[in-house]
Amino acid sequence: MKLPGLFVELKKPKKIFFHPVAIDSDKLKFSEIIAQTVITAISPGTEVAAYKGDPPLHSGKIYPRLLGYCNVAKILYVGKKVANFKPGDLILTDQSHRSVFKMPASEILAPVPNSVVPEQAALAYLYNLGRVALTNGEIKKGSRVAVIGLGALGLAAVAQAKLANARIVALSASQAKLRIAKKIGAHNALLKTDKDIVQEVKKSFNGKGADIVVTTSNGWSDWKLALQLPRKNGIISVLSFPGRTEGAPKFNPLDPRYFYAGKINIISADLGNNPGQREPELKTLQKNCRKILKDISKKKLNPSYLTSGIYPADQITRAYQKLLSRNGKEVTYLLDWRKSSYGKTKKH
């Protein structure tokens, strides 16, 4: 039997199409599953950058491209050799924005616990990115952590640092985001544009520099701030793409006053677990996602702070446009595939 569905494709900047697809259940391999998407979450940095046409991060063909990797779905069919999942199970995957899909059961990121609703589970991958930024930075109990930028990933990093019993200072230009950061565990939340921000951060750390600085901002001004915050031998964990849309900076991004004299370690916050990359990084990603879903189940993490609302999936363009407004309040949006009006190929 063929199951009709749709997937989202970005043809070129700001041109989204919903393409039809048919999944044939009669051709299901023994190790595969077929699932119907319930909720997807927008990864705002990656997706909005692609949507508006920011400079690409990789060589090769840019468009058309798929969007999204935060997908919660309900299993419809399982292959004969799939032992750990059954029809009706809710699962977390890194599938793109699409209504139905087929995939190897071994690549499912995690089962969704009964106590976690799909709207919560869809944010698990974003929490994972915040977690990786901190674990790569060698976080431990009592670590002094500064987080620059409080979008979805910055707030996820704050929440994960709280679980690690770190001392956290959150920095943003948005008062609304600073208030959220305080609610989810930041000990201090400061306007990054304040004249004496470096001194204020160190004051929050009893006169010391940060052990870990997580930067989630692409702006060069934030990079310059990040250079000034670590202690000697401290770490800057980069969960962003500095200068992506700004060209060359007007200052030395490796200023020896900070980088050399401070013996700063600059690391990528990437685990190597990008969608499409598998072993061995997949195992770590799966372990992280199971732990995050467990923390959500135990109410140690509250994903509602990462979401600004929910749209029917066929209104994805409206969600992107809201995120592009940059009013200082938007974090990210969920897409509900149960409420979308399907039909012919859609162009938005």
Tens of pLDDT, residue by residue over 101-153, are: 999 999 999 999 999 999 999 999 999 999 999 999 999 999 999 999 999 99
pLDDT beyond 60 at 274: no
- Domain co-membership, 134 together with 264: yes
Domain enclosing residue 333, as ranges: 2-123+304-347
Q: How many domains does the chain have?
A: 2
Q: Is residue 218 part of a domain?
A: yes
Q: How far apart are the C-alpha atoms of 327 and 54, rounded to whole Å?
A: 19
Q: What pLDDT shows up at residue 341?
A: 63
The answer to whether residues 73 and 143 belong to one domain is: no
Residue 292 lies in a domain: no
In a domain, 89, yes or no: yes
- 60 pLDDT band, cuts 50/70/90, is confident
Domain containing residue 197: CATH number: 3.40.50.720
pLDDT digits (tens, 9 = 90+) for 301-326: 999 999 999 999 999 999 999 999 87
- Do 43 and 132 belong together in one domain? no
**Is position 279 within any domain?**
no
φ, ψ for residue 222, nearest 5 deg? -70, -35
Based on the fold, state whether residues 33 and 111 are members of the same structural domain.
yes
Whether the CB-CB separation of 231 and 208 falls below 8 Å is answered with: yes
**CATH code where residue 91 lies:** 3.90.180.10
Rounded distance between C-alpha atoms, residue 200 and residue 188, angstroms: 10
Is 273 within a domain? no
